Chain A
Amino acid sequence: QMQLQESGPGLVKPSQTLSLTCSVSGGSVNNDNSFWSWVRQPAGKGLEWIGRIHTTGSTKYNPSLKRRVTISVHTSRNQFSLKLSSVTAADTAVYYCARDLRVRGYTYGYGYYYYYMDVWGKGTSVTVSS
């Protein structure tokens, strides 16, 4: 059974870079149908998709965060990571890592891919404050 575990500092100073790591157990990050995602949730608010990466290094980022976000995959350590630069108080949130599974589907003979986040970490709280 795959499990994900976030780790990293719980407190980051404004203007600095937030760095988190997600460790994957019970499976490999080097799986062609797995994408590795980050999602965050400010206290009392909804989920926000940050971005995801494939083992090939291909990434997709939320346009509102793209300028500040870098997601990397570290196959030798079976981990992936998130870096968010120039943080402010608005970046204070619980950060989740998740596996975004890609599946091939067919409709009327037409093939397509669909995705869903089937495995989530428990989340790690990050506060931005001086």
Chain B
Amino acid sequence: QSMLTQPPSASATPGQRVTISCSGGSSDIETNPVNWYQQLPGTAPKLLIYRNNQRPSGVPDRFSGSKSGTSASLAINGLQSEDEADYYCATWDDSLIGVFGGGTKLTVL
């Protein structure tokens, strides 16, 4: 089981669009849907996107997800200061073993 690959950091100014990538392989991302979690400082992770591009109730439509092949992406449009957080992609492999990305720390400049 290998960790999914995310950039360790990303930054943008308020109002801009930012994307976070998540790279995996043929036995995880390519085969299974990807979920994204947002972790605000000092809090538990929160489900942000599930099944590649679905938003749970209450998640603003500024957040969107996509997947192609062995990679997935999270996009945030109209960045706001409260979006400053750590973001994690996650999926599972062919044996239903869970795997997270290393996390991306998003800074709102």
Residues of A in contact with B (beta carbons under 8 Å apart):
37, 39, 46-49, 51-52, 60-64, 96, 100, 103, 105, 114-118, 120-123
Contact = CB atoms under 8 A, between A and B. Distances in A.
Given A47-B88, A63-B1, A64-B1, A122 B44 contact: yes
A49 B46 CA distance: 15
A114 B90 CA distance: 12
Interface string B81-105: 0000010101010011111111100
Contact of B45 (A47, A61, A62, A114): A47
B103 A60 contact: no
A120 B46 contact: yes
**Nearest 7 A/B pairs, CB to CB:** A49-B98, A116-B50, A46-B103, A120-B44, A47-B100, A116-B35, A114-B33
Interface residues of B, number: 28
A120 B32 CA distance: 22
A10 B79 CA distance: 37
A114 to B, nearest CB: 5
Contact of B100 (A48, A120, A122, A123): A48
A120 B37 CA distance: 11
Contacts of B51: 103, 105, 114, 116
Contacts of B86: 46
Nearest to B35: A116
A2 B98 CA distance: 22
B28 to A, nearest CB: 12
Contacts of B37: 47, 117
Interface of B: 1, 3, 32-33, 35, 37, 39, 43-47, 50-51, 56, 86, 88, 90, 92, 95-103
A59 B49 CA distance: 25
Given A47-B103, A49-B98, A117 B1 contact: no
B56 to A, nearest CB: 7
Contacts of B88: 46-47
Given A47-B90, A49-B100, A120-B46, 17 more contacts: A39-B100, A46-B101, A47-B88, A47-B100, A49-B97, A52-B98, A60-B97, A62-B97, A63-B1, A96-B44, A103-B51, A105-B33, A105-B51, A116-B47, A117-B35, A120-B45, A122-B44
